Amino acid sequence: MHHIAIISSSKDPAGINIRNNLIELFNFEKNSEEFDDNDVYQYDKIQNKAIKLYLTNQDLIFAEHLDKKIPADVFIFASKHRSKENIPSFAVHPIGNWSNADFGGEEKKLCPSSAVLLKNLFIELNNIAKDTKLNASDLRSHLHELTMEATHHGPFVDKPAVFVEIGSTEKEWNDKNNGKIIAETIMSGLNDENENYKIAVGIGGGHYCNNFNKLVLRTDIAFSHICPKHNLDKLDEELIKQSIQKTIEKIDFIVLDWKGLGTEKQRIVDLLKNLNLEFKRTDQILR
């Protein structure tokens, strides 16, 4: 049996929104457990998967080492997303820190990540948002950005983990329809299985992974961790090795956002060659 924990924070309106939709739409049932003095809900209708909803009273990014308190194989964090532009959005991303741990987690430490789960969630997010007419082809007033994000922030858990988020203001966090979309995304993503993906670590490009988003939706490539351009100066052999070791599937190759490597391009290429790692370029794959 695969045990999956979906975590929300009592301090986070988007997380509460997603949690309430999961309970309502999928008939999660309250069990006899409590966590942080909050009720725990359970769903057992997906074969070989036991899914539980937990509510913590901590901020999610600082809820460290939950894997020592919750017996789960996978952690899905249902959360709000903030951005400077306040663009309505839905996002998924792996967690960990390429450098300092200013926003939870541990310095230069990545959490385990499942590339298959991340890809399945992002594909389902796009399918469900499209079905509910929230994709970019709609009226501007209903525009939601659908994106993966690079690996960032905490908390640290030593089990595969992913954040699934609603952005970017109180209006979107509390919109019940947005909570419904993410609830359906999570449950559909957990239903999906695919062992035929090509597993990769992504290096370069912006925080919102424009080229890697395209690859996930258009090809069989799935990403576990992504190091964005603004963290490339911190990327060294040990972090590259860690990104591979922390991927629960076997890595097939590294993907470089070739035009998003800046002045670090040659150094990164040399690092990968020294490690005897195969790499591919986004500009050649997306031609």
- Per-residue pLDDT tens over the stretch 181-227: 999 999 999 987 777 999 999 999 999 999 999 999 999 999 999 99
Indicate the burial class of 67 (C-beta count within 10 angstroms; 0-12, 13-18, 19 or more). Answer: buried
CATH of 1-193 given 3.40.50.2300, 3.40.50.10140, 3.40.50.300, 3.40.630.50: 3.40.630.50
Q: How far is CA 35 from the centre of its chain?
A: 23
Which residues of the chain form CATH 3.40.50.10700?
195-287
Instruction: Output the six-digit token pair for 249.
Output: 């599937």
Q: What is the mean pLDDT of residues 81-99?
A: 93
- For the chain, give the percent of residues with pLDDT over 90: 88
Q: For residue 10, what are its two tokens?
A: 């009592």
Find the DSSP H helices in the chain. 13-26, 115-131, 170-174, 176-191, 210-218, 237-245, 265-274, 282-285
Mean pLDDT in residue range 264-277 = 98
CB within 8 Å of 110: residues ≥ 6 apart? 94, 95, 96, 97, 98, 151, 225, 239, 242, 243, 246
pLDDT by residue (tens digit) across 132-181? 755 544 433 355 799 999 999 999 999 999 999 999 899 999 999 999 99
Delimiting residues of CATH 3.40.630.50 domain(s) in the chain: 1-193
pLDDT for residue 134: 53
Strand 29-35 to 38-46 pairing: antiparallel
The arrangement of secondary structure in 195-287, i.e. its CATH architecture, is 3-Layer(aba) Sandwich (3.40)
